């Protein structure tokens, strides 16, 4: 909110549009994977009661930072409102989201019956911890792929070298820990050269981001001018905004957009598909999203010939677009199919 008030063109999950932030998250995911896998142990810290709120706040901050790729499927209305409301009311919305994140823990704290349902501590906790290393490792791989999309293959290769150096340093620290020896000075000696290398090599290796690959025939890249030209042609236009770090976007593209039935229906009805790739920061797309009350992606808009835009749901069914075209006929505005919002 402060950055937007200062004039920055930012949207939800803007941090994932920055290659450097993605590399930092990659290193964090690698460290967490190594810890969950038992390669090293975090140092025991004596946390006083006065420090517990700060620790809890830092944990919540980290959770919010890494868990904000998409506004779909549940947060679109709240995030869109937060962009338009005064700061106090917007902060109230964010506080409500924070309360939702904290609600399970609050319920356990205030309802003894729920605590009684929790499994008792035991050896299963260590096994569960090791199992959790697998999804965190997959997260690290996903972040490495995203780094390649944002900064190019050379950028991702250097990020992989730095991540490998971090993993090696953590393994050295773990072996020294198991031998009851000082671990963290050795960790610093091993990891520092890799971090210095990354600090200089990563910015120098940045290349143009990879554009979204769309299998729909005749798909055009979004711009205000291209949209105006497409609408002036008298053909229906399907416009969607996506990003490589948005899971909801990718699921919708696989399930509903890039299907053979959708391609055939669009081709038969003369629909012009247009895509806006928001993987990297794009002020023009950010302004367009904000103008349509969207804080982030996904956003799906249907422009019937001569009509105004209809905003579609953030979760598309397999036949949503086919039904939409069949009901509008590709000619004039008509009643929206089930699950599609009517025009404003």
**What contacts 84, CB < 8 A, 6 or more positions away?**
293
Average pLDDT value for residue range 157-177 = 97
- Tell me the Cα Rg of the chain: 24
Instruction: Tell me the pLDDT band of 84, cut-offs 50, 70 and 90.
Output: low
- Note the pLDDT tens digit of each residue in 308-338: 999 999 899 999 999 999 887 655 434 444 4
**Count of positions (residues) in the chain:** 344
Share of the chain above pLDDT 90, in %: 58
Give me the pLDDT at residue 74, please: 63
Identify the pLDDT of residue 93: 84
Query: Which residue ranges form the domains of the chain, and what is each CATH number?
Result: 2-43+51-205 (no CATH), 220-328 (3.40.30.10)
Q: Is residue 272 predicted with pLDDT exceeding 70?
A: yes
Q: Would the CA dihedral through 280, 282, 288, 289 be positive or negative?
A: positive
Whether the per-residue pLDDT at 178 is higher than 60: the answer is yes
Looking at every residue in the chain, the average pLDDT score rounds to 85
C-alpha–C-alpha distance, residues 118 and 122, integer Å? 12
Nearest to 71 by CA among 260, 342, 252, 269: 252
Kindly list the distances between the CA atom of residue 182 and the CA atoms of 6, 39, 101, 257, in Å, as whole numbers in the listed order: 47, 16, 38, 55
Average pLDDT over residues 226-254: 93
**Residues 73, 314 contacting (CB under 8 angstroms):** yes
Q: What is the pTM of this model?
A: 0.79
Taking the CB of residue 107, how many other CB atoms lie within 10 A of it?
11
Cα first-last separation, the chain: 27
Nearest CA to 253 out of 309, 209, 316 is that of 316
Q: What is the 3-state secondary structure (H, E, C) of 78-107?
A: HHHHHHHCCHHHHHHHHHHHHHHHHHHHHH
Residue 192 reports pLDDT greater than 80: yes
């Amino acid at each position: 909110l402060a950055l937007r008030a200062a004039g920055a063109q930012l949207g939800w999950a803007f941090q994932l549009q920055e290659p450097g932030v993605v590399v930092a998250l990659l290193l964090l995911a690698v460290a967490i994977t190594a810890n969950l896998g038992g390669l090293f142990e975090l140092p025991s810290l004596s946390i006083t009661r006065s420090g517990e709120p700060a620790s809890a706040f830092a944990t919540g901050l980290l959770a919010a930072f890494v868990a904000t790729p998409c506004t779909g499927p549940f947060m679109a209305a709240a995030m869109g409102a937060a962009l338009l409301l005064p700061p106090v009311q917007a902060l109230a919305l964010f506080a409500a989201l924070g309360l939702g994140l904290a609600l399970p823990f609050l319920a356990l704290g205030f309802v003894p019956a729920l605590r009684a349902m929790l499994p008792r501590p035991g050896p299963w906790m260590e096994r569960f911890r090791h199992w959790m290393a697998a999804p965190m490792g997959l997260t690290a791989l996903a972040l490495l792929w995203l780094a390649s999309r944002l900064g190019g293959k050379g950028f991702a290769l250097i990020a992989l070298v730095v991540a490998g150096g971090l993993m090696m340093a953590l393994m050295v620290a773990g072996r020294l820990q198991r031998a009851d020896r000082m671990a963290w000075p050795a960790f610093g000696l091993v990891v520092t050269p890799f971090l210095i290398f990354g600090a200089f090599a990563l910015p120098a290796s940045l290349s143009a981001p990879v554009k979204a690959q769309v299998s729909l025939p005749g798909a055009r890249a979004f711009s205000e001018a291209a949209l105006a030209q497409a609408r002036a042609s008298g053909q229906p236009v399907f416009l969607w905004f996506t990003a490589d770090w948005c899971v909801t976007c990718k699921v919708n593209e696989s399930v509903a957009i890039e299907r053979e039935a959708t391609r055939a229906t669009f081709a038969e009805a003369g629909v012009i598909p247009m895509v806006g790739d928001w993987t990297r920061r794009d002020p023009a797309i950010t302004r367009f999203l904000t103008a349509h009350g969207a804080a982030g992606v996904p956003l799906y808009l249907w422009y019937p010939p001569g009509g105004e835009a209809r905003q579609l749901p953030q979760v598309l069914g397999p036949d949503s677009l086919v039904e939409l075209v069949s009901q509008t006929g590709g000619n004039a505005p008509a009643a929206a199919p089930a699950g599609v919002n009517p025009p404003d």
